[in-house]
Structure 1
Amino acid sequence: MKALDNLTRFEVEIAGHVATVTIANAPVNAQDSAFREEIIRIFDVLGGEPDIRAIVLTGKGKHFSAGADLGGRSAIAEQPGGFAAHNRLVRAAFDVVLECPKPVIAAVHGAALGAGAVLALVSDILVVAEDAWLSMTEVDYGLAGGVRHVLRSFSPSDARLVIYTARRVSGAELYRMNVASLCVTQEQVLDEARSIAETIARKVPLAVAAAKRSFGLTEEMPLRDGYRYEQTQTSALSLSQDTREALMAFQEKRTPVFKGC
């Protein structure tokens, strides 16, 4: 895909309707400014590509992502307005995944530290390897980011445990805590994530996109308002060509062909 040429921190592979985005910033997939600028470009492009229906996010090498590259923080502090610009870019790098109109399945192995943990948590579905571990290490370095994202995925008590102690939470613990949907061997983690993405890709694309919008918009709505919004989505979808095609294919016992309209 020409719009994603010249990437230095990522690799992108497309097979059918599924894109696999691999963090490839050796040795530990740390996140610097170039990383953030590239992930914004990647998810903006893939999110707007009609033929892509689901995205797998994973890491190359031993780890998913060891988090933010802290080497440049002193330079940021020395620049007038440096932290404001830096924080805006960091937020955008997470928001572009969180708000991507296509479902994102994170396949996590090895370490997901700090910003790496948040990157996994802003994905729609989390699949972890048995060797995976997550840790919010901000308190070890005099920082305090990630609390709100952690609170979305962990219970209040577990969220505080993770933030206050910077403890390592294993893949098995993430599954037990209902943070991850699956915990499998390292050899299986990417295949499992792709299998989920391929299943999503066979559903009505407009309906999946509507469901993701509903998750994003209704998360903090009262139940009555959230469900009312969802009903407006269903009413609009019922008039679409793809919904009619899905119903007709079901009646005719054949595979539907969707056109995104």
Structure 2
Amino acid sequence: MGISAHSPGQGIAEVVMDVPPVNALTVQGWFDLADAVRAAGRDPANRVVVLRAEGRGFNAGVDLKEMQAARGFEALVGANRGCYAAFAAVYACEVPVIAAVHGFCLGGGVGLAGNADIVIASDDAYFGLPEVERGALGAATHLARLVPQHLMRAMVYTCRNVTAAELHAFGSVLEVTPRDGLRAAALEVAATIAAKDPYVIRRAKESLNGIDPIDVNRSYRYEQGFTYELNLMGAGDRHRDAFLTDGGR
């Protein structure tokens, strides 16, 4: 369990999140994920990375129980820095990253999927940012890479979710597949990429990041500043406590 890395085929690295019950990552978990993705991209044997998860869903964001159990703001700062590192690692990975998403993809999960190069999802997958209901903000930067601008705003304000089928219609999910075929579908696309010239693939990734109209790292860091404000004003603790009192995850 935790964050693990494997090589399921020539030129393919697989990074797996397995953190029961819902793949809500601790501060250390986010940094471990960042390290695993960076290492996979730097390995010259790899031409593509598949990022996926075991369990009930892809990722439920930050471990709020850890945050509320900590004194002061150390856990909050750690979680924000950890998420920043993991999202940036996916975006800056030296080879393409395929996110294979099943079940829920919430909060930090949207940050990971939104920064991936390709998203493949199971037919039970759904995506959303519950941040407003948790007294936080963030990952709208990454959601905007998955849905049109006005829908992104509506999702942030209302905390509504969208399905994999909706994202497929927008073109931000490449394929929707039955859940039991998700890994195979992701590995099939990965194999197609892995068969290409590795030098060309790495330059293609670098060039596409270079023409991106949005600096995702700076944009996300700007959002995080408002999460700090919400915490200083007491809104963060109030909403997180209410969520955990109601049963949480």
Per the normalisation by structure 2, the TM-score is 0.80
Whether the 8 Å CA contact 2:4–2:17 is kept in 1: the answer is yes
1:105 to 82, 98, 123: 98
User: In 1, Cα distance between the equivalents of 2:43 and 2:112?
Assistant: 22
How many residues are matched?
213
1:47 is aligned, of 41, 57, 72, to 41
Say yes or no: does 1:185 pair with 2:175: no
1:212 aligns with 2:217: no
Matches within 5 A, 1:152-163: 152-163=145-156
SS at match of 2:176: strand
Q: What does residue 13 of structure 2 align with? A: 19
Q: Could you say if the C-alpha distance between residues 94 and 77 of structure 1 is closer, same or farther in structure 2, counting changes exceeding 3 Å?
A: farther
CA deviations 1:160-218 (Å, max 9, x no partner) are 12211111211111111222111111122111111111110111111111111111111
What's the offset of the Cα at 1:114?
Answer: 0.8
SS of the aligned residue for 2:49 comes to strand
Once the two structures are superposed, what CA deviation does each residue of 1:22-72 show, in whole Å capped at 9, x if it has no partner? 111111111111211211221221111111111111110221111111113
Q: In structure 1, the residue corresponding to 2:24 is in which secondary structure?
A: coil
Q: How does 1:76-225 map to 2 (within 5 A)?
A: 78-79=72-73, 83-220=76-213
**Could you tell me which of 1, 26, 40 is aligned with 1:32?**
26
Q: Is the 8 A contact 2:27 2:75 kept in 1?
A: no
Q: Is the 8 A contact 2:66 2:75 kept in 1?
A: no
Give the structure with higher Rg (CA): 1
Q: Distance in 1 between matches of 2:134 and 2:147?
A: 22
Give 1:12 shift: 1.8
> Counterpart amino acid of 2:26?
D
CA shift, 1:87, in A, is 2.3
The answer for unaligned runs of 5 or more in structure 2 is 215-249
Separation in 2, partners of 1:145, 1:16: 36
> In structure 1, what is the Cα distance between the partners aligned to 2:23 and 2:63?
9
SS at match of 1:198: helix
Contact 1:59 1:108 survives alignment (8 Å): yes
**Deviations along 1:105-144, whole A, 9 cap, x unmatched?**
0111111111112211111100011111111110111111
**TM-score w.r.t. structure 1 length?**
0.77
Tell me the C-alpha RMSD between the 2 structures: 1.7
C-alpha deviation, 1:85, in angstroms? 4.5
Q: Aligned residues: percent identity?
A: 31
